[in-house]
């Protein structure tokens, strides 16, 4: 028998949160922090970047680097941020000293989609302290969790071993070579192309000797307009930035229904009875280090308003639009079945 609470469902239109205003977008990269470039950074930026040993490794910068170019560049980064075309940050220490920059611009590449092109530099007084690695890692994880991009890319001059090490420690993998014009050098130069996807975050250096089976229970919550609720995996979790059907892992001895009822309450703040969960289908997928088995239940009635209690964005999506939302590979088979059913 269905509980009375199942019939008290109130549907709300949910939207993913807007990107934070540039004035409030600070990223912690302990012991350093990243904040958007500001006009008052121009003098410190110019003092550090107007250095041949720095500029010769940066493809787009001239040498000498004119002081007014620093003002123009900072103004351009602010415009890119407002247009959601780029995000550029000053790297600061705990005494608020300017040490360098890290940023990315968003480009659309054929057959690949939206890509974040990562770049960074650190002033010579701050070399060999791991600063670039911490800053690049922090921005990479934030970007893959919060931006609608398919991957990150970066290019490194092949005589810049230190920068290649930064990318490899961050989680990037070399995918090829190219040639790129370096303005300060006055010629094109061989570069290595690096790439990082969501699956590269927190990948183990060695594979476990035995694989484990992970059991996950998920729900397709369907509202009165026939839309399905998706949740975006927040920063700090594996596959951050991808959209998925709400749910979670089963605890030892826990049934799929019990696990799902618990997870929906913990993650979304809603209450669901076992009678409101209709078994729909299941997915089986092999990831690099484990095998996943995931039953999916249909649910049209619940009590409460879905809220992202773990920092995840939520979106009500018409089934015809589900493929517009990047998902983990295990969730993809559900789309066609839901489109045929709903």
Q: Where are the domains of the chain?
A: 22-200, 207-341
Q: Choose among 278, 217, 292, 285: nearest CA to 248.
A: 217
Residue spans of alpha helices (H) in 234-314: 256-268
Asked if the model's pLDDT at residue 32 lies above 50, the reply is yes
Asked if the model's pLDDT at residue 192 lies above 60, the reply is yes
Asked if the model's pLDDT at residue 280 lies above 90, the reply is yes
Q: What pLDDT band is residue 290 in, cutting at 50, 70 and 90?
A: confident
pLDDT in the model for residue 24: 63
207-341: CATH, from 3.90.79.10, 3.30.429.10, 3.60.110.10, 3.40.50.720 = 3.90.79.10
- Mean pLDDT, the chain, whole residue set: 89
pLDDT in the model for residue 15: 41
A 10 A CB-CB count for 310 gives 14
Asked if the model's pLDDT at residue 193 lies above 60, the reply is yes
Asked if the model's pLDDT at residue 13 lies above 50, the reply is no
**Tokens representing residue 246 in the block:** 């709400």
Query: Comparing 22-200 with 207-341, is the CATH topology the same?
Result: no
Tell me what the mean pLDDT of segment 316-323 comes to.
95
Q: What pLDDT band is residue 207 in, cutting at 50, 70 and 90?
A: very low
Q: Choose among 140, 135, 240: nearest CA to 194.
A: 140
Find the angle CA(205)-CA(206)-CA(209) to the nearest 5 degrees.
Answer: 160
Find the angle CA(75)-CA(68)-CA(50) to the nearest 5 degrees.
Answer: 105
Asked if the model's pLDDT at residue 4 lies above 50, the reply is no
Cα separation, 274 vs 79, whole angstroms: 51
Tell me what the mean pLDDT of segment 85-91 comes to.
96
Given strand 86-92, what is the order of strands in its sheet? 27-29, 32-36, 86-92, 98-109, 113-122, 151-157, 187-196, 173-182
Task: Look up residue 17 and give its DSSP letter.
Answer: P
- CATH code for the part of the protein at 22-200: 3.40.630.30
Among all chains, which residue has been given the structure tokens 């050098």? 185
Cα separation, 67 vs 36, whole angstroms: 19
Asked if the model's pLDDT at residue 180 lies above 60, the reply is yes
* pLDDT: which is higher, 122 or 289: 122
The model's pLDDT over 267-277, given as tens digits with 9 standing for 90+, comes to 999 999 999 99
Mode of pairing for the β-strands spanning 32-36 and 27-29: antiparallel
Q: What pLDDT band is residue 289 in, cutting at 50, 70 and 90?
A: confident
């Amino acid at each position: 028998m269905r509980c009375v609470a199942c019939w008290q469902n109130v549907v709300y239109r949910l939207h993913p949160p807007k990107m934070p205003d540039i004035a409030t977008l600070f990223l912690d990269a302990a012991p350093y922090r990243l904040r958007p470039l500001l006009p008052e950074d121009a003098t410190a930026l110019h003092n550090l970047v107007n250095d041949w040993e720095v500029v010769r490794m940066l493809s787009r910068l001239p040498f000498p680097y004119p002081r007014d170019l620093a003002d123009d560049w900072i103004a351009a980064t602010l415009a890119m941020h407002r247009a959601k075309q780029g995000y550029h940050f000053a790297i600061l220490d705990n005494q608020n000293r300017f040490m360098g920059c890290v940023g990315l611009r968003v480009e659309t590449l054929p057959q690949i989609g939206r890509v974040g092109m990562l770049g960074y530099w650190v002033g010579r007084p701050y070399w060999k302290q791991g600063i670039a690695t911490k800053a690049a890692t922090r921005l990479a994880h934030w970007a893959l969790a919060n931006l609608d991009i398919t991957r990150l890319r970066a290019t490194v001059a092949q005589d810049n071993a230190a920068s290649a090490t930064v990318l490899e420690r961050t989680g990037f993998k070399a995918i090829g070579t190219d040639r790129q014009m370096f303005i300060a050098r006055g010629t094109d130069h061989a570069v290595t192309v690096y790439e990082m996807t969501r699956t590269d975050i927190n990948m183990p250096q060695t594979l476990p000797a035995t694989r484990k089976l992970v059991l996950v229970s998920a729900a397709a919550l369907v509202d009165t307009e026939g839309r399905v609720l998706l949740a975006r995996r927040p920063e700090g979790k594996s596959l951050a930035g991808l959209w998925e059907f709400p749910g979670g892992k089963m605890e030892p001895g826990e049934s799929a229904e019990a696990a799902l009822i618990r997870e929906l309450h913990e993650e979304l703040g809603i209450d669901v009875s076992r009678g409101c969960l209709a078994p729909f289908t299941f997915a089986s997928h092999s990831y690099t280090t484990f095998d996943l088995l995931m039953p999916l239940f249909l649910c049209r009635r619940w009590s409460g308003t879905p809220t992202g209690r773990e920092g995840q964005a939520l979106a009500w999506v018409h089934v015809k639009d589900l493929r517009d939302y990047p998902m983990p590979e295990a969730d993809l088979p559900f789309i066609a079945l839901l489109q045929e059913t709903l």
